[in-house]
């Protein structure tokens, strides 16, 4: 089987996977909206932000799914008899305007997803700003490279899968995936690092939802990162299978952030309060009540008293009791 046949099959199968994963994205999206509508007014600004953010991501991934499906339909059905076949049609129309629109939607979707992932890393690390400096730099670089990819793949006679646009695409994806790997690793490391302490504070069962396997996979957007690595490897090898992994990668660019948002809305995700509860939980030290000789009885607050302190307090109570008895006589 020649490379073009492998590419066309991968494109077709990728479009089918797009439809399946798009259905999963719709379920997650409407579940998130349901949580927002059923929730009380507390934190309404954050909930409204998540609703708008989720809607924008759904809109962008819808563009990508529609573009891939329409281009495949036109290439395989409407132009089945195009001179040179599907390979020639792809080379001639890869830079058509709606393909450029799809590439632009993918760039914006990637930036949105990576920004949310950086924010979650910031939260998991207890709002420690230095930890996100390098990821933010990578995010800006990803936006710049993605914009260049859209431009050079959209100019006449260009090809997203060959030439300068292809090399820029590989550079962009390497930066974006590098960002995913760095941030996902930081989140996984942090969760594993504090998991023991959280089990001591909350108990094993209660802490499971914050430090369990589901939490690690979701919070770190692991499917997004792994599918991106698979895509970059196939692109680097110039494999025709790259188009399939691109379809899966783009869909997880939307699904993984939506899973994080849903966990946040359900109260199962990490927050600043979660981290404070696990690292700063302490008990207030009780104060000893003042002793008044004129009162018939005195209550002493219990604290971390040594044996010497207890003996001393007993002696004091005995003197007070003796004084009270003498005055009564």
Q: What is the DSSP letter of 304?
A: S
Q: What is the DSSP letter of 79?
A: T
Check whether 290 has a pLDDT greater than 90: no
Written as six digits, the tokens of 294 are 């004129």
- Residue 184: the pLDDT is 87
Residue 285: pLDDT band by 50, 70, 90 thresholds?
very low
Q: Which of 20-29, 127-136, 142-151, 198-207 has the lowest mean pLDDT?
A: 198-207
Distance between CA atoms of 246 and 110, rounded to whole angstroms? Answer: 12
Q: Whats the size of the chain, residue-wise?
A: 329
Number of Cβ within a 10 Å radius of residue 28: 20
Residue 253 near residue 64 (C-beta atoms within 8 A): no
Cα–Cα distances (Å) from 22 to 73, 164, 250, in that order, read: 18, 31, 10
- Specify the higher pLDDT residue, 108 or 4: 108
**Cα maximum dimension of the chain:** 123
- Residue 76: the pLDDT is 92
pLDDT tens readout for residues 33-88: 998 888 766 667 888 889 999 999 999 999 999 999 999 999 999 888 889 888 88
Task: Give the DSSP H/E element, type plus range, for residue 245.
Answer: helix 242-265
CATH code for the domain defined by 3-279 = 1.20.1070
Q: Which of 13-27, 32-46, 217-231 has the lowest mean pLDDT?
A: 32-46
pTM over 0.85: no
143-170: average pLDDT: 82
Residue 209: pLDDT band by 50, 70, 90 thresholds?
low
151-165: average pLDDT: 77
Q: Which of 131-135, 149-153, 301-305 has the lowest mean pLDDT?
A: 301-305
Written as six digits, the tokens of 280 are 């700063």
Written as six digits, the tokens of 115 are 């920004």
């Amino acid at each position: 089987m020649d490379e073009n046949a492998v590419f066309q099959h991968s494109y077709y199968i990728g479009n089918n996977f797009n439809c399946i994963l798009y259905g999963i994205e719709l379920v997650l999206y409407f579940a998130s909206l349901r949580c927002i509508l059923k929730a009380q007014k507390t934190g309404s600004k954050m909930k409204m932000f998540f609703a708008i953010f989720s809607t924008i991501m759904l809109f962008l991934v819808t563009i990508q799914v529609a573009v891939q499906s329409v281009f495949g339909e036109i290439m395989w059905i409407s132009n089945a008899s195009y001179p040179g076949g599907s390979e020639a049609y792809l080379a001639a129309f890869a830079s058509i305007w709606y393909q450029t629109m799809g590439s632009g939607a993918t760039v914006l979707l990637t930036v949105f997803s990576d920004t949310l992932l950086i924010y979650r890393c910031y939260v998991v690390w207890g709002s420690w700003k230095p930890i996100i400096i390098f990821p933010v730099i990578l995010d800006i670089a990803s936006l710049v490279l993605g914009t260049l990819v859209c431009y050079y793949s959209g100019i006449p006679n260009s090809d997203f899968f060959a030439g300068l646009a292809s090399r820029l695409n590989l550079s962009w994806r390497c930066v974006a995936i590098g960002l995913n790997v760095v941030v996902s690793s930081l989140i996984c490391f942090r969760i594993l690092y504090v998991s023991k302490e959280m089990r001591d504070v909350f108990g094993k069962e209660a802490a499971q939802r914050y430090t369990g396997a589901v939490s690690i996979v979701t919070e770190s957007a692991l499917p997004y990162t792994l599918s991106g690595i698979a895509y970059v490897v196939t692109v680097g090898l110039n494999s025709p299978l790259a188009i399939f992994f691109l379809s899966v990668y783009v869909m997880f660019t939307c699904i993984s952030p939506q899973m994080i948002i849903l966990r946040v809305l359900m109260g199962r995700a990490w927050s600043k309060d979660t981290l404070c509860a696990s690292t700063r939980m302490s008990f207030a030290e009780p104060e000893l009540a003042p002793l008044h000789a004129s009162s018939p009885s005195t209550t002493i607050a219990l604290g971390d008293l040594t044996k010497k302190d207890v003996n001393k307090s007993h002696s004091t109570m005995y003197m007070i009791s003796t004084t009270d008895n003498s005055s009564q006589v």
